[in-house]
Structures are given as structure tokens and as C-alpha cells.
């Protein structure tokens, strides 16, 4: 059964031109960089310095796996793009909300 699941998983990659293991590695591998960027962003905000670069870095890390999908993928169904758009929008909103809370908590101290 596990072999069948693995075969199905790999067939999705072949159908859409994306290696699922590379996608997964980018997705998981970007997490520490995203967290580091968020830490950097909060530290710069605390110091009342520009947060543009750490915000861009965090955003890039957040969408890096989907960039791979957009560049390497082919024949990706529209519903996948809609789902990813909603997922990215929610993630961005959530991240911005959390960053603002952390910055506000620091400002109150």
C-alpha cells in the first residue's frame, strides 16, 4: 500500500512536470529561513529601522515552493492556482497580523 501511495505521489509530479520531492524539500527547507526573516523583521521594527528587506525575504521564503511550481509546472489546473492564491493570501494576512502583534508587544514594554 505504501508503494502504491508513493507511485501515485510521483505520478502527480510526472503529470504536471514537477518533482514532488523537490517541491517538498523547498517547502520544508524554506521554513527556517522564513522564521529567521521574521525574527530579523521584528528586531528591525523594534530598532525603528526599515523592514522592507526582511519583509521581502520572508515573502520570498513563504512562496518559494509555489514559485518552483509556477516555473517548472505545466498544465496545472485552475483550481490549484485558486487554492494556492487563497492559501497564500491567508498566510500573508496571518503573518502580517502576528508580526504586528509582536511589534506592538515590544513597543508596549
78-108 vs 20-46: helix axis angle to the nearest 10? 30
Place of cell 525574527: 39
Residue-by-residue pLDDT tens, the chain, 109 positions: 788 877 877 777 777 888 888 988 999 999 999 999 999 998 998 888 988 899 889 989 989 998 998 899 888 889 888 988 998 899 889 888 888 888 888 766 6
Number of H helices, E strands in the chain: 4, 0
Domain range annotation of the chain = 1-107
Q: 26: number of CA atoms within 13 Å, CB side? A: 15
pLDDT for 9 equals: 72
What is the pTM (predicted TM-score) of this model? 0.74
Amino acid at each position: 500500500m505504501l508503494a502504491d501511495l508513493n507511485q501515485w505521489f510521483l505520478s502527480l509530479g510526472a503529470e504536471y512536470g514537477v518533482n514532488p520531492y523537490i517541491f517538498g524539500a523547498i517547502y520544508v527547507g524554506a521554513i527556517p529561513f522564513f522564521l529567521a526573516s521574521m525574527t530579523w523583521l521584528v528586531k528591525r521594527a523594534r530598532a525603528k529601522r526599515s523592514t522592507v528587506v526582511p519583509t521581502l525575504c520572508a515573502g520570498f521564503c513563504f512562496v518559494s515552493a509555489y514559485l518552483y511550481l509556477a516555473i517548472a509546472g505545466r498544465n496545472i489546473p485552475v483550481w490549484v492556482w485558486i487554492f494556492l492564491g487563497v492559501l497564500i493570501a491567508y498566510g500573508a494576512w496571518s503573518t502580517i497580523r502576528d508580526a504586528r502583534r509582536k511589534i506592538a508587544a515590544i513597543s508596549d514594554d
